[in-house]
Amino acid sequence: MSANESLGRAQELAERMRAKLDALEQLAEAGDVDAAVEDLAEIAELAKQIEAEVQRARASADAGA
């Protein structure tokens, strides 16, 4: 996978995370703790995936440099 592909994937994941953060805010306002905890777990997983894609992009860029 190229650095650009990895960065594109990271951007897609970041957009999904932004949507989850917006949903989390609404859940917090509504007081839905159980759903908020679920969303937090999904946000954490998305953050891990973003980190992995950024590391792939960095490794790919270093290999091509």
Q: How many structural domains does the chain have?
A: 1
Per residue of the chain (65 residues), what is the pLDDT tens digit? 799 999 999 999 999 999 999 999 999 999 999 999 999 999 999 999 999 999 999 999 999 75
| Burial annotation 6-38 (CB, 10 A radius, 16+ → b, else e) | bbebbeebeeebeebeeebeebeeeeeeeebee
Report how far residue 44's alpha carbon sits from residue 19's, in angstroms, rounded to the nearest whole number: 13
Domain of 8, in residue numbers = 3-64
Closest by CA to 49, choosing from 16, 25, 2, is 16
- Global pTM value: 0.87
